[in-house]
Amino acid sequence: MRTGSLKYERIRDLRIDQGLTQTQIAEVLHIKQNTYSQYEIGILNYPLDVVIQLAIFYNTSVDYLVGLTDDPTPYKRRKR
């Protein structure tokens, strides 16, 4: 199911800008490379926990990843 609601191209662009492979990001997310690939091309919507993990990993906001803003600057986060 392809959807425009999640900006899947943003996760691809961030990965490429960092010089990382799909396999490396899949390992960070503890998923299979094939699953991550399907997120990047928009076949699968990525779940909220994945969006949060990617926002933390790339030091950006969830809003940026899902296309609610074009500003990648993260919000101030609570300490865990």
List, for residues 5-64, the tens digit of each pLDDT value.
Answer: 466 889 999 999 999 999 999 999 999 999 999 999 989 988 999 999 999 999 999 999
Query: What's the token pair of residue 61?
Result: 């906001």
Query: What's the token pair of residue 50?
Result: 């994945």
CA distance linking residue 67 with residue 9, whole number of Å: 10
Contact between residue 11 and residue 39 where contact means Cβ atoms under 8 Å apart: yes
> pTM of the full predicted structure?
0.84
* DSSP 8-state assignment for residue 46: P
Q: What is the CATH number assigned to the segment(s) 8-65?
A: 1.10.260.40
Confidence (pLDDT) at 1: 35
